[in-house]
Amino acid sequence: MSESLTIALSKGRIFEETMPLLAVAGITPLENPEHSRKLVIKTNRPEIRFIIVRASDVPTYVQHGAADFGIAGLDVLIEHGGEGLYQPLDLNIARCRMMVAALESFDYAFAVRVGARLRVATKYVQIAREHFAAKRMHVDLIKLYGSMELAPIVGLADVIVDLVSTGNTLKANHLVPVEQIMDVSSRLVVNQAAFKLKRSEMMPVMDIFRSACRMTDRQEGKI
Ligand code: AMP
């Protein structure tokens, strides 16, 4: 049997949208992590396994060589810093937008115009810091780990920086998007050292992702 390859990814949207890409090459998990409590999931290919980790931990597992590959959102990669990682491929999955959002009653354009000092609640402090620094705005960043939408409602912050997909979560909490920071999608990441040592084993897996992405692009009429 050839040397084993480990792919780190998170449950939910990333797992669900990655499986069809691998299925193109006949690679399928033996269990569904949504129904199983197992954190190591075997596949029908003995040399390939998944490990199920928190989305924000994926780059750490790959950086330290505990996984050869990982699949992580651009947001997570920017916050992590990307040290020790190659990012060879945008898989174009789990697409959403990083937005600034505020209560419907908050006049963001006015606050920007008069140079108000804003309180910004977010999980994405690095992205928020760079965004407001580029706008030359002074902000107080308030780090949260979830439910950012609550912060403006209870007066903890003036605005939030968060991922928006359908916009339903913002709407349900009387928030509106006021500025787009970036488009976000998930990327394949590779441990740089593992890639040098195991290039011949890892290349075929990278090629599987690359050609699966090309097929999906074709189906979407992009090429
Ligand atoms: P939505 O109501 O569809 O706009 O989704 C917004 C909620 O889902 C927010 O709490 C976001 O943090 C989260 N979210 C949306 N898209 C993603 C994504 N691609 N990855 C992680 N979280 C996301």
pLDDT band, very low/low/confident/very high, at 184 (cuts 50, 70, 90): very high
* Percent of the chain topping pLDDT 90: 91
Residue 95 CA: nearest ligand 1 atom is 19
Domains in the chain and their CATH numbers?
A: 5-94+185-219 (3.40.190.10), 96-184 (3.40.190.10)
**Cβ(168) – ligand 1 distance below 6 Å:** yes
User: Which pLDDT value is given to residue 2?
Assistant: 54
pLDDT for 202: 95
Cα distances (angstroms) measured from residue 162 to each of 95, 100, 157, 169, 206: 13, 7, 13, 11, 30
Res 136: pLDDT = 95
The pLDDT of 5-13, averaged and rounded, is: 97
Nearest-atom number in ligand 1 for the CA of 147 is 10
Per-residue pLDDT tens over the stretch 134-151: 999 999 999 999 999 999
* pLDDT computed for residue 222 by the predictor: 74
pLDDT at 44: 97
> Given this model, what pLDDT does residue 214 score?
84
CB 152 within 8 A of CB 103: yes
Query: Which of 44, 171, 23, 38 is closest to 99 using CA atoms?
Result: 171
Q: How far apart are CA 146 and CA 122, in angstroms?
A: 8
Among 165, 170, 173, 185, name the best residue to mutate to test ligand 1's pocket (greatest count of ligand atoms within 8 A of Cβ).
165
For the segment 81-131, what is each residue's pLDDT rounded down to a tens digit?
A: 999 999 999 999 999 999 999 999 999 999 999 999 999 999 999 999 999
CA 169 to centroid of ligand 1, rounded, Å: 8
The predicted structure's pLDDT at residue 3: 66
With 60 as the cut, is the pLDDT of residue 1 above it? Answer: no
Q: Which of 124, 164, 174 to mutate to test the pocket of ligand 1 (most atoms within 8 A of CB)?
A: 164
Three-state DSSP class for 70? Answer: strand
Query: Does 185 sit in the ligand 1 pocket, CB within 6 Å?
Result: no
Compute the average pLDDT of residues 49-68. 97
State the average pLDDT over residues 9-17: 96
Distance of CA 193 to the CA centre of its chain: 23
- CA-55 nearest atom, ligand 1: 21
Is the distance from the beta carbon of residue 167 to the nearest atom of ligand 1 less than 6 Å? Answer: yes
Regarding predicted confidence, which is higher, 221 or 180?
180
Give the Å distance between the CA of 162 and the centre of ligand 1. Answer: 8
Pocket test for ligand 1, best of 96, 147, 183 (most atoms within 8 A of CB): 96
